Amino acid sequence: MLTNRSKVVVNKTLTFSESLYFPAIFRGLMITMSHLFKRKVTVRYPEQTRVFSPVYRGLHVLKRDEKGAERCTACGLCAVACPAEAITMVAAEREPGQEALFREEKYAAQYEINMLRCIFCGLCEEACPKEAIYLTPRLVPSSFKREDFFWKKERLLETVENRVDVSRRLMRPAQKGAA
């Protein structure tokens, strides 16, 4: 015996009140009824939605810098940090005249996250030296097609007009350099 929690089975005969069963059934019904007056644990989705934790790790976003240039430089650290091997990328060299589009002389021509593989651990965000990828409190939409879960760069990248706020992810104790 390892835990002291095992109980010895006793085959004692029921008393008269126990053999009636009705008190036990009534007690069970009372428990059920009492739950009708307690606070409900479910919400009426989709009319109601739950409040996300500020550090919820959901759908990724690829950030742009203040001037609107893509921050990602395809260094591959997110992909090598990824325990699920969900991230793939192809790098390309920035041409003269593309300085407004890409921050560094190398950029991600293709960038893909397989959301079926992703376990939303956030290691990609932690590995990123360019503060380019963040997990956000958004959900990956469901779908019947596998292809819909292979998120390409175009879907991951935020637009200049419609930026994704990641300031709450940054409130964690400063692990990243000030760069």
Q: Give the nearest distance from C-beta 142 to other proteins in angstroms.
A: 31
Rounded Cα distance between 76 and 112, Å, is: 12
- How many other C-beta atoms are found inside a 10 Å radius of the C-beta of residue 73? 20
117 belongs to the binding site for other proteins (CB under 8 A) = no
| Residue from 20, 24, 29, 80 binding other proteins (CB under 8 A) | 80
Structure tokens at 173: 């104790």
CB 77 within 8 A of CB 109: no
Site for other proteins in 84-103 (CB under 8 A): 91-93
106 belongs to the binding site for other proteins (CB under 8 A) = yes
| Residue from 59, 61, 79, 87 binding other proteins (CB under 8 A) | 79
Rounded Cα distance between 166 and 152, Å, is: 20
69's CB contacts (< 8 A; 6+ apart) are 99, 100, 101, 102, 103
Rounded Cα distance between 123 and 86, Å, is: 12
Which residues, in sequence order, are bridge partners of residue 111? 89
SS3 state at 24? helix
Q: Give the nearest distance from C-beta 149 to other proteins in angstroms.
A: 22
Q: Give the nearest distance from C-beta 92 to other proteins in angstroms.
A: 6
Q: Give the nearest distance from C-beta 132 to other proteins in angstroms.
A: 10
Site for other proteins in 123-142 (CB under 8 A): 129-130
| Residue from 76, 84, 131, 149 binding other proteins (CB under 8 A) | 76
Q: Give the nearest distance from C-beta 124 to other proteins in angstroms.
A: 14
Summarize as ranges the residues that interact with other proteins (CB under 8 A). Answer: 73-77, 79-80, 91-93, 104-106, 129-130
